[in-house]
Amino acid sequence: MNLLSAFVLLALFSIDVAAQSVNRKMGKPTAEELNMTVYDADSSAVAVVLYKESYVSYDWGRDDFQVTYNFKRRIKILKEEGVEYANGTIVYIDKKDKSLLKEHVYGLEASAYNLENGKVVRNKMKDENVFTERVTDNVMQMKYAVPQAKVGSVVEVEYKIVSDYFFQPRDWFAQEEIPVRYAELEMLIPEFISFNIENHGAALLNVTSTPSNQNMSIGGGLVACSSEERKYVGEYLPAIKDEEYVWCPRDYLTQVNIEFNGYDIPGVIHQSYSGSWDQVDKTLFDDSDFGGRMKASNPLREEMEALCLDTLPTVERKVVAIYGLLKSRVKWNGKYALRGNNFRQVLKDGTGDNADINFILMSMLKDAGISSYPVVMSRRDERALPYSHPSIDRLSTFVVGVLENETTLMFIDASVEHGYVNVLPPLLMTSRARLMMPGNCQWINLQQLGSHSLRRTIQASLSAEGAIEGLASTYYYGIEAADKREGYFAAKDSADYVKAIEEDKSIDVTEYNSFSMKDFTPVVRDVFKFTKSADVNGDYIYVNPMLFAHVEASPFVNEKRDLPVEFPNQTQYTVNVVLDIPEGYVVEDKPEPCNIKMSDGGLSLLYNIVQQGNKLVLKYSFNLGNMMYLPSDYQELKWFWDFVAEKNNAMLVLKKQ
């Protein structure tokens, strides 16, 4: 036996021993499980999944295949914050339109096991602890709460789902937001059925495949077939917790994704479900609530005549005018959708989701001779569209792509309250969106869309007593302008808004003016006079030359990170400060200049102070050009952000001569 073979055998033996050490018997928690007070692999864990198993099998139903999912789960509650993990939600398909296809939940049982006076006491969940509710027209959920679950409890849950939606396999997630000691997915796949199966995530899964056999009752007869037992096992999987600067943590869990290709029973039936994005395109174009809405007539045709569009010089100006009219008639209800409703009803209600308003906008643009198309996507806070296979179910909404000329598109969405053309909410700035242009559907990246920046100029003077008086003028572009407007309109009144500025910047505002705040434009400006105080200590004055910090503290305080960092948008932050220093004072010490970039070039900082007579001139330029950083980049990213915060807090020291 060579050395490589010995290592392989040792690894297989280790996996087998580890699997054998897992308690697979439901209803029989071990003394070790009951007495556990800390999970050794993660002492901070509030709870741990000791064991979870999903067994998936296919059989023939009344007229077609059915899939059955059997779920088993055992967790240990270690801290008070972990008690919530004893409760759960089961989501299943149950269409309100009385579709013949359904999913049913059977055999839900749950119990909490506790040690009381040295004895194991089982508290079984009763029917009164279970209730169901409708989530959408297509989805129901069953919620359950396990009685007597407390710190120290071992909680077990098991149930099964029988689904007619055999062609929409459920993805399986090995990782959770609490640690998982052992996770197992087993699938019994008959030879008649074809899948694409892939697993991904940071943690490795052990995958095995074993030949098997099964019998199926098809058309009144028993059909023998060979099968495959496919098993995925994960052990000691760390918790994946929600972190700042990540849109959808679920995307990064270790998981198994399953796509149904089709089935073929020789001499009986053949059905192919495998497709392409071209087929998804066709399905949407043929859908009356999607493709049909694209062809619908403009309900505001007469009102559009008052816009005098022929007098407007650019497509952009025409789009803005049309959008303004539409938004005066119907308000966004805060919801996103993919398919639209009847135009007349939406206008009658005066409110609608973004799909409703977007489809009306497209009909208005068509009447104006402007071509526009839906750009469908999965929002950034939802699971990303898969690259391996098409998925219409992952599409959740769309924005409108407007043809500015033969080669250039502009983008707008009904949810834009404070933005502009090409200034979408970051939620919709996905890297993978599909332009639904008939005959030329294509993928586009919306993350490079628009120009977003803040540019501030400050003229200020410092007295020997440490009093600072200044005038700040700031231009906000793109998303920076949208954020500025959002804060402005969220305030009770202008006085309340100015007070918020004073608290945020630790200043007193003596005069405030804003420009274009109520206009639908890509830029906002404000100008204000202010006073603040520097620190005076004997012959020394200590002052921060930034006057208003851009980054007071780094948001990245953890020493390591498991998830990528995903910034909302690109941006540039530029400040120029001219500070008059008091007569009789000289610069004793000033922050060192810098001009640094991260290794990828996507983050940069320029900081420099020069003296011109009795004036100090600060130039500060921060540029964020890369919207995503992997965990492997985190240490450099953390260092960079710490450095930015340090420069923002650096002090200038003046000494009296």
Q: Are 591 and 648 in contact (CB under 8 A)?
A: no
pLDDT at 195: 82
pLDDT at 273: 64
Cα(532)–Cα(506) distance, rounded to whole angstroms?
7
pLDDT at 274: 58
Interval 80-128: pLDDT, tens: 999 999 999 999 999 887 778 899 999 999 999 999 988 999 999 999 9
Tokens of 624: 């964020």
Tokens 């009164």 label which residue?
Answer: 128
Tokens 């941006």 label which residue?
Answer: 571
Q: Sign of the CA dihedral 159, 49, 255, 253?
A: positive
Tokens of 519: 């206009």
**Domains observed in the chain:** 44-272 (2.60.40.3140), 278-444 (3.10.620), 453-656 (2.60.120.1130)
Phi, psi of 565 (to 5 degrees): -100, 125
The string over 621-654, giving b where at least 16 C-beta atoms fall within 10 Å of a residue's C-beta and e elsewhere, is bbbbbbbebeeebbeebbebbebbbebbebebbb
Cα(258)–Cα(249) distance, rounded to whole angstroms?
19
Phi, psi of 187 (to 5 degrees): -120, 135
Interval 206-264: pLDDT, tens: 999 999 888 877 766 777 889 999 999 999 999 988 789 999 988 899 999 888 888 88
Cα(426)–Cα(447) distance, rounded to whole angstroms?
8
Measure CA of the first residue to CA of the last residue in the chain; give whole Å: 84
Q: For residue 190, give the nearest of 218, 162, 160 by alpha carbon.
A: 218
> Within the chain, which residues score under 70 in pLDDT?
1-20, 219-220, 267-270, 272-274, 387-388
Phi, psi of 564 (to 5 degrees): -65, 165
pLDDT at 581: 96
Find how far residue 436's CA is from the centre of its chain.
23
Helix (H) or strand (E) run with residue 7 in it: helix 3-20
Q: What CA–CA distances, in Å, run from 631 to 253, 255, 383, 634? A: 14, 18, 19, 5
pLDDT at 3: 37
Q: Are 521 and 420 in contact (CB under 8 A)?
A: yes
Average pLDDT, the chain: 91
In 301-456, alpha helices (H): 301-304, 315-329, 343-349, 354-367
